[in-house]
A and B are shown apart, each in its own frame.
Chain A
Amino acid sequence: MLTLQVNGRPVQARQGDTVLDACERAGIRIPTLCHLAHLTPTGACRMCVVEIEGQRGLVPSCAFPAADGMRIETHSQRAVEARKVIVELLLSNHPDDCLYCVRNADCDLRELAAELGVRGRRYFGSKLDYRLDTSSPSVTRDPAKCILCGKCVRVCEEVQGVGCIDFNGRGSRTIVGTAFDQGLNVSSCINCGQCIMVCPTGALAEPNSLPQVLAALADPEVFTVVQHAPAVSVTIGEEFGVRYGVDVNDTLTAALRQIGFDRVFETSFAADLTIMEEASELVHRIQNGGALPMMTSCSPGWIKWVEQSHPDFIPNLSTCKSPQAMLGSLVKAWYAERQGVKPEKVFTVSIMPCTAKKFEVGRPELSRDGMADVDAVLTTRELARLIRMRGLDLQKLEPEEADQPFGERSTAGKLFGASGGVMEAAIRTAYFLITGKELEELKVQAVRGLDGVKEVSLEINGMKIGAAVASGLGNARKLLDEVRAGRKDLHFIEVMTCPGGCIAGGGQTLRVPLEAVKARMQALYAIDRDGPVRTSHGNESVQRLYREFLGEPLGELSHHLLHTHYEAREVVR
């Protein structure tokens, strides 16, 4: 243990701590704009500067190693003054449009300005004028609001291993942009939205899909169907003051009904359906010498990444559509008819913890006769805006049950929301499909938790099955490299684009600590622990669907409605 003197008081620090780490643990908050825990500090924003005895200038606490006996002043007049000037400099080159900004309620820059008492413009001069990039269905870039903290660049490169954006240009003309400054839509962006999650300002946001949804809701001719993903119900409460990790599934259903949706379904149902198809596909591949290891296909960022950067693995991707696409497809191709509604009068909305889903629904493979299976995707954040807009208090609504037949789900389907969940659900069902028996212990501890790569090997009927789970594409790359290098023991790989899975997706609530993600994960595990039906094949509605409509998993109708294909993609990079 090291002992520092911070603002005249002793503060304990561990070996390897930065000054910022030590102060934060001691309850001394030093503001930062560019700090990302667990990633290499860049020391770019200079907000976290402190005075350290013996150092000439002010020192960035995020990058400075704590040392025994160090004497630090975190909020001296000089440090606070410097921070204020830095914020003023940023504001001098920032659009004055907070009132209209998507981040007006949760902007780091605005809060710092308030905290430091910035009450007037001190620096005048030109502002740089930039083009808004609205080319991408998932991420809108407004470089005018960018303060060049570089968090998005680091997340994209260091966490996701994509490296779609970087700094272009020099000096005050520096801008975060894509290769050749082309639109995000033609870039190597995988739409994961992790850049939005770290952006301190409104420079990055998802495109607003609320207007289309509101228009559909307002049209009496239109039959509106909404589905919400497994991770949404354990997150949305946070937006309304519920503590982290509380599942508000049924009040959410009530809210969606009050908002005006004609049917409220759960994507978790389709997750169960996915497992039926995907587990069958896995068993089929293993028994018939198909491309192995098979890789999951529910995470659209990962899919685009394989198509553009690792097309040699396209044959390994499961041909199953993602759960939201399966449900969209079923609603328009089957359910609408049963309800006596023309498919073109059905408007399907998915509420997703994800920005890449906005891209996914635009894939031509996920439409029939020019009609998309899903018409609009709302992120968890947009859902919160919609609920607020309708004046609903989520905490006071009476819980309601989702509509049938797509309202029933197993807890396995719900587990999809966390990294490892698809694997766990698939193992349960694959075991059943091969052996005809249920696993004795349904919980597969090895694939739970927030580790980037998790592995498990099982023996089913004397056959050794290797499975791996990766979340965050940087981690996925490691697995792919191993497979490419000749690793043979893996049969099934689950990849979630976002680190931790959908509970930490790019469409989730902004500015939450890691504890929130952990709590959401625990909430999903608790649902699974206590649920009456814990396997996808145990979902009676799914079985009924097969009996009444689809026939067999991997059958003719499944092939048309529930499976898709992938193609190598050219992107600008």
Chain B
Amino acid sequence: MPETLALNAAEFPRCCDRCFHSPERPCRDLVACLESGPLCHEDDACAAKLTARREAAMRLTGGNAVVYVGTGTCGLGAGAAKTLRAVRAWLHEHSHEAEIVEVGCIGICSYEPLVDVQLPGRARLSFSRVTEEAVEPLLTSLFNGEVPRELLLGQLRGEGGEPWPDLPYLDEHPFFAPQTRWVLANCGIANPDSIEEYLARGGYRALARALRDRTPEEVVKTVEESGLRGRGGGGFLTGRKWGFALRTPADQRYLVCNADEGDPGAFMDRAVIEGDPHRLLEGMAIAAYAIGATKAYVYIRAEYPLAITRLRRAIAAARAYGLLGDNILDSGFSLEIVLKMGAGAFVCGEETALIHSIEGRRGMPRPRPPFPAARGLFGKPTIINNVETLANVPAILDRGPEWFGSVGTENSKGTKVFALSGTIARTGLVEVAMGTTLRDIVFAIGGGIPGGRAFKAVQIGGPSGGCVPESRLDTQVDYETLKGVGAMMGSGGLVVMDERTCMVDVAKFFMDFIQRESCGKCIPCREGTRHMLEILQAITRSRGREQGKTALERFQGVIHLQRLARVIQDTSLCGLGQTAPNPVLATLRWFQEEYEEHIFERHCRAGVCAELRQLWIDPDKCRGCSICLKRCPTGAIIGSPRQPHTIIADKCIGCGTCVEVCKFDAVLVA
């Protein structure tokens, strides 16, 4: 059952003592009043109070230090909970009255746990890798006036008080400098649990203005003019999609936020919700207003407990403030937002499957048309947008479509958030202007491949996407260009791979993922992807395991691979099926020679495919200790004690146990 969130204890924000509004008597100017009020009367005392309130929310006043701990899921994974405890203990021990604020992830995940410290009156400083043990030395030296440079990432521009002379700014750090942080503006900076802070940073201004000054048609037009396209993969013009729903006559329409982020290596939505949930809520409220929906769902993975908690708190706070619920800001527009937890089926990211899942049915796609915008959830016009798309909306309304369109390329406007992972120096969440090259993302922001190894490919767009090789690294990220190199924007997963990666193995990994996550409904996807996987498995199989006609079948499989891929693309029911062969096609396109090596020479140049590994013992190094002989699981090693041993290739399965146990490095891998 979807759960309706109860109103929590947060109170209705009366802007000043003379304010007579209440949840029952909402104020249409609430947001503006909090920003620059009071509006309905002249009173210096009230104005001063409001100013103080904003400054308190921004932590610009007050004599206490503030310690920010990044407790997003990535931070927690790196030990932020222990760091937080250590910070508390240290402050308690030293009787410091410092305020502790938990924030989301600022994006540089590989430097977690991140701790920011804002000493009274000074600019906020950001420190990396502040593990439990590092807390004491850090805080001790800071509170003694020493800034430990080795942990310092930089000072935050415009956060806190007086800047530190001689200290670098965080936005000059190579990870942050090339970024354009719009959606992520507050992530890791602001307290996600504080609606006051979001308001103080200009939040809900766009919603208030839209409700007061614009018709739904105007909002749709603005979003369409901005050129915002769906950030969930397809890249359809968001405003145009909204228009379809708005123009479909109905007694009820629904907005659904798709937070069922399922691509391997993708965590953009999670980070946005954990770091800045109110931005999503504001975007949803604007979208719901634009399409005429009074009920909205957030379909979110149950595996995102922290995001769910923060979103739940944010919804409760927004309701208490009258920014959600009945008659929002006295506009006559009402919106209820319901959380619906997904059980982790990849296919439920597909619109119609997601709709089925919310309806309480098995998450399986259905044919389109009818499109959800015409007939969706419970048979009503439904707009499904992903988290990042909706999170872009407030700024578009606030600053205008021209501002949004000023960044990006001809057909892809604005920014895109990517989750950078794999063998790369700096992993994390990055937001770049559309049109930034992959090279800039991988090398400038991500810091390139660690350990001096060579770059091989970057996988972009999740299972439906593709792998881009070194030779195409100057590809700009925008919807069309990426398609041109056999990849796709997808939701924003970016997995960097170095020379130790086998591309056949990568294809195998994704095919395995796809065939396991296929909903099982349509035959080409269900049966076809399994066969594609089996063909790949056959390619990476050793000769020793082949009997009868399997060698012939292995070749037959290869011959049929492309035809099979074409039919799957051509006939599958939903987008997932239609793009299911991409992992194979994209790797085949740029790494055909690796496939050929596997097929014809049974050789894996990366040494990843265990069965194809050829191991041999260097007789000059082998002392005949027999350890490898005893440990070999298939009895493939022969030899007399104290005499050089030999590996029988036909019996060897390439598991590498002998390599691990040899004390003399005598086992070589070819």
Q: Is the CB of A170 within 8 A of B523?
A: no
Count A-B pairs with CB separation below 8 Å.
Answer: 119
Which residues of chain A come closer than 8 Å to B535, judged between CB atoms?
125
Measured between C-beta atoms, what is the minimum distance from B534 to chain A in Å? 4
B523 contacts which of A45, A124, A171, A173 (Cβ < 8 Å)? A45
Q: Is the CB of B362 within 8 A of A166?
A: yes
Measured between C-beta atoms, what is the minimum distance from B585 to chain A in Å? 15
Q: Is the CB of B369 within 8 A of A89?
A: no
Q: Is the CB of B557 within 8 A of A167?
A: no
Q: Which residue of A lies closest to B518 (CB)?
A: A171
Q: Which residue of B lies closest to A40 (CB)?
A: B366
Is B526 positioned at the interface, with any CB of A under 8 Å from its CB? yes
Q: Is the CB of B531 within 8 A of A150?
A: no
Which residues of chain B come closer than 8 Å to A173, judged between CB atoms?
516, 520
Q: Mark B513-555, 1 if CB is under 8 A from A, else 0.
A: 0011111111110111111001100000000000000100100
Q: Is the CB of A46 within 8 A of B572?
A: yes
Is A42 positioned at the interface, with any CB of B under 8 Å from its CB? yes
Q: Is the CB of A172 within 8 A of B530?
A: yes
B367 contacts which of A41, A170, A171 (Cβ < 8 Å)? A41
- Given A122-B560, A123-B560, A148-B526, the answer on whether A171 and B362 have CB atoms closer than 8 Å is no
Q: Is the CB of B571 within 8 A of A49?
A: yes
Q: Which of A111-125 contact B (CB under 8 A)?
A: 122-125
Q: Which of A154-177 contact B (CB under 8 A)?
A: 166-167, 169-174
Q: Is the CB of A85 within 8 A of B524?
A: yes
Which residues of chain B come closer than 8 Å to A86, judged between CB atoms?
523-524, 567, 571
- Given A46-B524, A90-B527, A126-B534, the answer on whether A170 and B570 have CB atoms closer than 8 Å is no
Which residues of chain B come closer than 8 Å to A89, judged between CB atoms?
523-524, 527-528, 531
Is B114 positioned at the interface, with any CB of A under 8 Å from its CB? no
Measured between C-beta atoms, what is the minimum distance from A80 to chain B in Å? 11
Which residues of chain A come closer than 8 Å to B526, judged between CB atoms?
148, 171-172, 174
- Given A44-B521, A82-B570, A172-B530, the answer on whether A124 and B557 have CB atoms closer than 8 Å is yes
Measured between C-beta atoms, what is the minimum distance from B458 to chain A in Å? 27
Which residues of chain B come closer than 8 Å to A45, judged between CB atoms?
522-523
Q: Which of B325-364 contact A (CB under 8 A)?
A: 345, 347, 362, 364
Which residues of chain B come closer than 8 Å to A166, judged between CB atoms?
362
Which residues of chain B come closer than 8 Å to A57, judged between CB atoms?
569-572, 578
Measured between C-beta atoms, what is the minimum distance from B51 to chain A in Å? 56
Q: Which residue of B lies closest to A85 (CB)?
A: B567
A171 contacts which of B530, B557, B563 (Cβ < 8 Å)? B530
Q: Is the CB of B516 within 8 A of A85?
A: no
Q: Which residue of B lies closest to A172 (CB)?
A: B530
Is B564 positioned at the interface, with any CB of A under 8 Å from its CB? yes
Q: Is the CB of A125 within 8 A of B516?
A: no
Q: Is the CB of B527 within 8 A of A92?
A: yes
- Given A57-B571, A126-B534, the answer on whether A170 and B520 have CB atoms closer than 8 Å is yes
Is A2 positioned at the interface, with any CB of B under 8 Å from its CB? no
Which residues of chain B come closer than 8 Å to A148, judged between CB atoms?
520-521, 523, 526
Is A452 positioned at the interface, with any CB of B under 8 Å from its CB? no
Measured between C-beta atoms, what is the minimum distance from B426 to chain A in Å? 35
Q: A173 to B553: give the CA distance in the assembly, Å.
A: 23
Is A43 positioned at the interface, with any CB of B under 8 Å from its CB? yes
Q: Mark A120-144, 1 if CB is under 8 A from B, else 0.
A: 0011111000000000000000000
What is the interface size of chain A, counting residues whose CB is below 8 A from a CB of the partner? 38
Q: Mark A272-305, 1 if CB is under 8 A from B, else 0.
A: 0000000000000000000000000000000000
Which residues of chain B come closer than 8 Å to A172, judged between CB atoms?
515, 518, 520, 526-527, 529-530
Q: A134 to B570: give the CA distance in the assembly, Å.
A: 38
Q: Is the CB of A167 within 8 A of B362?
A: yes
Q: How large is the interface on B (under 10, 10 to 19, 20 to 34, 35 or more residues)?
A: 35 or more
Determine, out of A60-68, A204-212, A222-230, A334-342, the stretch whose residues face the partner at the interface.
Answer: A60-68
Is A325 positioned at the interface, with any CB of B under 8 Å from its CB? no
Is B22 positioned at the interface, with any CB of A under 8 Å from its CB? no
Q: A197 to B571: give the CA distance in the assembly, Å.
A: 27
Q: Is the CB of B571 within 8 A of A82?
A: yes
- Given A45-B523, A89-B527, A172-B530, the answer on whether A65 and B369 have CB atoms closer than 8 Å is yes
Which residues of chain B come closer than 8 Å to A29, judged between CB atoms?
none
Q: A150 to B366: give the CA distance in the assembly, Å.
A: 13
Which residues of chain A come closer than 8 Å to B564, judged between CB atoms?
85, 123
Q: Is the CB of A43 within 8 A of B527?
A: no
Q: A41 to B573: give the CA distance in the assembly, Å.
A: 12
Q: Which of A45-90 contact B (CB under 8 A)?
A: 45-46, 49, 57-58, 60, 63-65, 78, 81-82, 85-86, 89-90
Q: A82 to B522: give the CA distance in the assembly, Å.
A: 13
Q: Is the CB of B520 within 8 A of A171?
A: yes
Main secondary structure of the interface of B (DSSP, over half): helix
Q: Which residue of B lies closest to A51 (CB)?
A: B570
Q: Is the CB of A125 within 8 A of B534?
A: yes
Q: Which residue of A lies closest to B574 (CB)?
A: A43
Q: A85 to B520: give the CA distance in the assembly, Å.
A: 17
Which residues of chain A come closer than 8 Å to B550, judged between CB atoms?
124
Q: Which residue of A lies closest to B523 (CB)?
A: A86
Q: Mark A166-203, 1 if CB is under 8 A from B, else 0.
A: 11011111100000000000000000000000000000
Which residues of chain A come closer than 8 Å to B643, judged between CB atoms?
none
Is B634 positioned at the interface, with any CB of A under 8 Å from its CB? no
Q: Is the CB of B570 within 8 A of A93?
A: no
Q: A255 to B88: give the CA distance in the assembly, Å.
A: 93
Q: Is the CB of B570 within 8 A of A44?
A: no
Is B556 positioned at the interface, with any CB of A under 8 Å from its CB? yes
Q: Is the CB of B366 within 8 A of A43?
A: yes
Which residues of chain A come closer than 8 Å to B572, judged between CB atoms?
46, 57
Q: Is the CB of B570 within 8 A of A123?
A: no
Which residues of chain A come closer than 8 Å to B567, judged between CB atoms?
81-82, 85-86
Q: Which residue of A lies closest to B550 (CB)?
A: A124
Which residues of chain B come closer than 8 Å to A248, judged between CB atoms?
none
Q: Which residue of A lies closest to B347 (CB)?
A: A170
**For A82, A89, A171, which residue has the most chain B Cβ atoms within 10 angstroms?**
A171
Which residues of chain A come closer than 8 Å to B366, judged between CB atoms?
42-43
Q: A64 to B369: give the CA distance in the assembly, Å.
A: 7
B522 contacts which of A44, A65, A93, A167 (Cβ < 8 Å)? A44
Q: Which residue of B lies closest to A120 (CB)?
A: B556
Which residues of chain B come closer than 8 Å to A126, judged between CB atoms?
534
Which residues of chain A come closer than 8 Å to B529, judged between CB atoms?
171-172
Q: Which of B555-611 contact A (CB under 8 A)?
A: 556-557, 560, 563-564, 567, 569-573, 578
Which residues of chain B come closer than 8 Å to A374, judged between CB atoms?
none
Q: Is the CB of B527 within 8 A of A93?
A: yes
Is A147 positioned at the interface, with any CB of B under 8 Å from its CB? yes
Q: Which residue of A lies closest to B362 (CB)?
A: A167
Q: A42 to B573: give the CA distance in the assembly, Å.
A: 9
Q: A291 to B497: give the CA distance in the assembly, Å.
A: 75
Q: A90 to B531: give the CA distance in the assembly, Å.
A: 11
Measured between C-beta atoms, what is the minimum distance from B62 to chain A in Å? 54
Q: A45 to B345: give the CA distance in the assembly, Å.
A: 21
A125 contacts which of B518, B523, B531, B571 (Cβ < 8 Å)? B531
Q: Which residue of B lies closest to A125 (CB)?
A: B534
Q: Which residue of B lies closest to A123 (CB)?
A: B531
Q: Is the CB of B556 within 8 A of A124?
A: yes
Q: Is the CB of A58 within 8 A of B571?
A: yes
Closest 8 CB pairs of A and B: A174-B520, A43-B367, A63-B367, A125-B534, A89-B527, A172-B530, A85-B567, A171-B518
With A63-B367, A89-B523 known, 16 other A-B pairs at CB within 8 A are A43-B366, A43-B367, A43-B522, A57-B571, A85-B567, A86-B571, A122-B560, A148-B526, A166-B362, A167-B364, A170-B347, A170-B516, A170-B520, A171-B516, A173-B516, A174-B519
Interface CB pairs A-B, < 8 A, 7: A49-B570, A60-B573, A81-B567, A89-B523, A148-B526, A171-B517, A171-B530
B residues with CB within 8 A of A: 345, 347, 362, 364, 366-367, 369, 515-524, 526-531, 534-535, 550, 553, 556-557, 560, 563-564, 567, 569-573, 578
A residues with CB within 8 A of B: 41-46, 49, 57-58, 60, 63-65, 78, 81-82, 85-86, 89-90, 92-93, 122-126, 147-148, 150, 166-167, 169-174
